[in-house]
Structure 1
Amino acid sequence: MLLGLSGELPDLVQAKFAAAKASEALLFSSTELTVIRTSAGIPFQLRYCPALAKKPEPRKETAPKKKIDPFENPLKELFITDIPATNPSHFLVLNKYPVIPNHFILATKQNKKQTHVLEQDDLEATYACLKAWQSEGSGSNRGRLFAFFNSGDNSGASQPHRHLQFLPVESMHDGRKTSDWDVLINTIVERSTQERPDKSNSVVQHPKLPFTHFAYTFISEPAGAQLLQTYNQLYQRAKQAIVDFISTNPGQLSLHDEAEGDLPISYNLAMTTEGMVIMPRRNEGHMLRRDDGTEIGFVQLNGTVLGGTLMVKFQEEWDVLQQHPEKLDSILEAIGLPASHLEIAATPTL
C-alpha cells in the first residue's frame, strides 16, 4: 500500500505530537523506567506512572451515558492524515493519553469491530507505516516502529472501534537504562532466524518465554496477500492453543460468544518490518502479591507485552517488581497460556 503522505511519516507525527502537547490537546504522562529480567534473562521494561492511578471525580449524573467513540470524529488537533491518499480506508491519529512520545494509532474509517478478524487492508496499512517510518526518516528521525493490536476481553483492549497502535522504538529507549533492551518481537524473530540459517518460512516460538506465542519471520518484504495469510495462520494456531487449553483445564477459560461475528478468543498481535507474532490471552492481568499472600495490586497488560514492556501505577508495585523480578514470570504466565516449547516448525510454509 502506498500511503501517499504529504510529508515524511516521522516528521508528520512528531510535528503533530509537539503541537498537540503544547496546546494540551493530548495529556502526556511521564514515567519512571527501569529494566528487569525474567528468570531466563529476557529483559523487560518496567514503567511506573502514578498519574494514571488518579481517579476522576464521580459524576453527579446517574443515567448511563453512551460510550464515546474517539475515532468517529477525531479531534483535529490529534488527527494526522487519511491513508491512503486516494479512497482512504484508514486514518492516523495521535493517542490522547500517551506515556511514550509520538504514540499514534491507525484506525478504520468505517466503524469496524476490534473483535472481528483483521482484513488485508488493515495489515497492509500497518506494514506500510512500519516501512515508511524506517525508510523516510533521516538523522535523529530515522528509527524503527513497533505495532501492536489488542482483541478480546482478556487482551487489554479498551476501544471497540478497530485500531492498531504504533510506538517508535527510539522513544521507548532511555539511554543507558535500556541499552541492553530491545522490543521483544525482534528478540523472538531474531532467535528464530539464528536457529534456522536457511531462513525457512515456518511458525516458531522462543523457547525461553513463559507464555505460548506464534511467530513468523519475514524473509523479504511481504505483499498484502502474504500478510493476510501469515495473520490467519498465526491466529488459527492461537485459537487451537486456547481450545486445547480449555479441553485440558475445564472451568478455567471459555471461548467468547461468536453470535455477532466476534472471534472466539482474546489475543495480542505485534508486528515490525522483521516479522509478526500472535499471543493468545487468558487473562487481562494478574494480581501481584506480597510474600504472605496479601494483595498489592492488579497489573494489567495489553499488546505492549510483545514489545517487552509493562507498566504499573502504584509505588509498591514498582518497588516489589524491582526487588523481586522473578514475579514477572508469574505475571507473564498468568496472562497467556503456559509455554509450549514443542517443535512447531513443521507447519506448512507460507
Structure 2
Amino acid sequence: MQFGLEASLCALVKSKFSTAKASQALIFSFTELSVLRPNSDTPFQLRYCPALSEKPKNNSDDPSKDSESEEKKKFDPFENPVGDLVIAHVPRTKPSHVLVLNKYPVIPQHFILATKKNKAQTHVLEEEDLAATYACLKEWEASRDGSFIDAKDKRRLFAFFNSGEHSGASQAHRHIQFLPVEEMARAQKKDDEGWRPLIDSMLESRHTLEFDNKRLLYSPSIPFTHFAVPIPPSPLSDTLFNLYKLLHEAASASVRAHIASSPGDLSLHPTEGGASPISYNLALTTSGMAICPRRREAGMLRDAEGAEVGDVALNGTILAGTLMVKAEDEWDLLRGDRGLAELDKLLQGIGIPQRVSEKGEDRLRL
C-alpha cells in the first residue's frame, strides 16, 4: 500500500506532534524509567506515570453497557478526530484509514492507525489493516526522498494491536498503535542500556514448534505463551494476512488447550459477526510479527507479607518489553528486592502458561 504522503511519515508525525502539543490538543505526560531484568533474563522497561491516573476512563470496553442505546452514547475518538491530532487520511485515493496522534502519549510521536469506518476492535483484522500497518512501518524507515537510511542510523517503529476484554484494549473502534523504538529507549540511563523490543528476541530465537505444518518461533525464557514469524522483504498484503491468520489460529489453539486443561479459568468469546474467540495482543515490526493470547488484563502486585499493593494492567506493549505503573507503591515494589519475582508472576498471570515437552527442550505441538 502506497500512502502518497506530502513528506516522510517520520517528519510528518514529528511536525504534527509538535503542533498538537503546543495547542494542547494532546496531553504529553513525562515518565520515570527503569530497566528490570526478570528471571527470563529479558530486559523490561518499567515506566512510572502518576499523571495518567487522572486520564478520563472510556467505557467502550465495559461489557455491562452493551445495549444499542448505550452504544450510541459512547464517545468514539476516531469518528471525527480533533483537527490538530489528524496526521493524514491514507491512502490518498479512496482512504480506508486515518492516522491520528494519541491524545494522552507518554512516548513522543505515539500515533494510531484507525479504520475510517467504525469497525470492531474485537473482530479479526482484515487484509487492508495489515497492509496499512506494514506500510506505516516501512514508511517510517524511509528518508524524505524515499531512499533508505544507513543501518546505524535506522529508525524503527513498533506496532501493536489490543483485541478482546483481557487485552488492555480501551477503544471499541478498530485501531493499531505505533511507538518509535528510539523514543522508547531515549530516556534510559547508561546503566539501563541493553533493552530492545521483546519481539526482537522472539524473532531471533532458535526454538520452534510445529503448527499447521508450519514452524513458529518462541522463546522459552518468556513466561507467557507467544508465537512469532518473520516477515519476508517486500511482502504482498495477502502474505501479511496469511501470517496473521496463522498466528491467530495458533493463539486460539493454545487458549482452547488451556481451557481443556484448566476448566473454569477462561472462556472463549462469542464469535458472531467475525469477532475473535480470544483476547490477544499482536505486534509487528518490518522484521516480523508476534502474538500473545491473553487470559487476564491485569495482575495484582503483593508485598512481602502478601498484602495487595496494586492491580497493574498490561496491553500490547508487553511485546515490546515494557509496562507502566501509575502508583508510587507499585513503582517502588517492582524496583525493589521482590520486583523481579513479582514481575515474573505478573507476566505469567496475564497470559497462557507455556506448555513444555517432557524433555524440556521444546513446547508440545498444538
Choose from 105, 124, 128 the match for 2:131: 124
Contact preservation (8 Å) 1:79, 1:94: yes
Gaps of 5+ in 2: 58-68
Contact preservation (8 Å) 1:80, 1:94: yes
CA distance in 1, matches of 2:56, 2:292: 33
Contact preservation (8 Å) 1:256, 1:263: yes
CA distance in 2, matches of 1:303, 1:76: 27
Choose from 238, 245, 253 the match for 2:258: 245
**Are residue 43 (structure 1) and residue 56 (structure 2) matched?**
no
Q: 1:131 to 1:345 in 2, by over 3 A?
A: farther
The residue identity in structure 1 corresponding to 2:88 is T
Shift of 1:55: 6.8
Contact preservation (8 Å) 1:203, 1:344: no
Choose from 71, 81, 94 the match for 1:74: 81
CA distance in 1, matches of 2:176, 2:321: 17
Q: Secondary structure at the match of 2:217?
A: coil
Match of 2:199 in 1: 185
Choose from 299, 311, 320 the match for 2:324: 311
Match of 1:143 in 2: 155
Deviations 1:169-190 (A, max 9, x none): 0110124254210001111102
Match of 1:235 in 2: 248
The residue identity in structure 2 corresponding to 1:130 is L
CA distance in 1, matches of 2:114, 2:75: 15
Match of 2:351 in 1: 336
CA distance in 2, matches of 1:51, 1:144: 27
The residue identity in structure 2 corresponding to 1:327 is E
When the two chains are superposed, the root-mean-square deviation of aligned CA atoms in Å is 2.4
Shift of 1:221: 2.8
Shift of 1:149: 0.1
The residue identity in structure 2 corresponding to 1:25 is A
Match of 1:133 in 2: 140
Contact preservation (8 Å) 2:355, 2:363: no
Deviations 1:2-24 (A, max 9, x none): 11111100000000000111111
CA distance in 1, matches of 2:170, 2:261: 30
The residue identity in structure 2 corresponding to 1:292 is E
Q: Secondary structure at the match of 2:312?
A: strand
Match of 1:60 in 2: none
Choose from 166, 169, 175 the match for 1:154: 166
Q: With structure 1 as the length reference, what TM-score do the two structures score?
A: 0.91
CA distance in 2, matches of 1:44, 1:71: 31
Alignment length (residue pairs): 338
Q: With structure 2 as the length reference, what TM-score do the two structures score?
A: 0.87
Q: Secondary structure at the match of 1:157?
A: coil
Q: 1:125 to 1:55 in 2, by over 3 A?
A: closer
CA distance in 1, matches of 2:286, 2:10: 16
Moved more, 154-163 or 290-299: 290-299
Shift of 1:341: 4.3
Q: 1:110 to 1:180 in 2, by over 3 A?
A: same
**Are residue 163 (structure 1) and residue 175 (structure 2) matched?**
yes
Residues 258-297 of structure 1 mapped to structure 2, 5 A cutoff: 258-297=271-310
Deviations 1:7-65 (A, max 9, x none): 100000000000111111100010000100111211000000011123769xxxxx978
The residue identity in structure 1 corresponding to 2:6 is S
Q: 1:300 to 1:346 in 2, by over 3 A?
A: closer
CA distance in 2, matches of 1:156, 1:233: 22
Match of 1:54 in 2: 54
Q: Secondary structure at the match of 1:203?
A: strand
**Are residue 210 (structure 1) and residue 217 (structure 2) matched?**
no
CA distance in 1, matches of 2:363, 2:218: 8
Match of 2:62 in 1: none
Identical amino acids, percent of aligned pairs: 52
CA distance in 1, matches of 2:293, 2:17: 32
Moved more, 5-14 or 320-329: 320-329
CA distance in 1, matches of 2:143, 2:159: 17
The residue identity in structure 2 corresponding to 1:152 is G
CA distance in 1, matches of 2:232, 2:354: 26
Shift of 1:263: 1.3
